Amino acid sequence: MTTSEQETVERLMCWARLWSPLAEDADHDASWTHLELPGVFAALRNQFWNAFHVGNPQPRLPLLLHVLLQREGTSVREEMIRVAQYLELESSDKRLPPDHLAPVCEMLAMALDEDEAVLVDGLMERYLAPWLAKARAEADADLLPVLERFQQDLPH
């Protein structure tokens, strides 16, 4: 694995922590800083939280891939479960739905780390690239730099 690929794996794990509603504020702050995102997480925390985690009936930019992509949830979750099983990822007591962007970033990092190019390409093509395109189209201007940086950090 190249140094660039190792850095991508590390950054994807930071993205997983940043996207996770289960992470502590300190983890969000540390990930924000490590990813060199503009400003300070605390200053955008409410806007970030409201855009990605809170909404009625759902957030404006849901982190559940099937929701933003308007796909049937069961099949997307089942596919992500198969990916996680293939990668032999262990789950903890605290877990997010398998099609939440945080665990998908972890799966992508693991697939990249294990040189699973077909899996990386499939996750990118079927889920992450379409999610990102839709999220960027619907995001507020303040959050666009976050999504642009996320796009830069994804494997190409």
Q: What is the helix (H) or strand (E) element at residue 145, kind and residue range?
A: helix 144-153
Residue 90: pLDDT band (50, 70, 90) is confident
> In angstroms, rounded to a whole number, what is the distance separating the alpha carbons of residues 55 and 16?
21
Look at residue 58 in the predicted model and tell me its pLDDT. 86
Q: Could you read off the pLDDT of 35-87 as tens digits, one per residue?
A: 999 999 999 999 999 999 998 888 999 999 999 999 999 999 999 999 999 99
52-65: b (≥16 Cβ within 10 Å) or e:
beeeeeebebbbbb
Residue 55: the pLDDT is 82
pTM of the complete model: 0.94
Would you state the pLDDT for residue 92?
A: 66
**Would you state the pLDDT for residue 95?**
87
Q: What is the pLDDT of residues 94-123, one digit of tens each?
A: 689 999 999 999 999 999 999 999 999 999
Tally helices (H) and strands (E) across the chain.
Answer: 9, 0
Query: Residues 6 or more apart from 66 whose CB is under 8 A from it?
Result: 72, 73, 76, 77, 99
CA distances from 18 to 32, 48, 72, 115 (A): 7, 10, 25, 24
Name, in order, each residue with C-beta under 8 angstroms of 6's C-beta and a sequence gap of 6 or more: none
Q: Which residues lie closer than 8 Å to 44 by C-beta, 6 or more apart?
A: 142, 143, 146
pLDDT at 56: 82
- Of 3, 23, 4, the residue nearest 106 (C-alpha): 23
Which residues share a beta bridge with 100?
64
SS3 100: strand
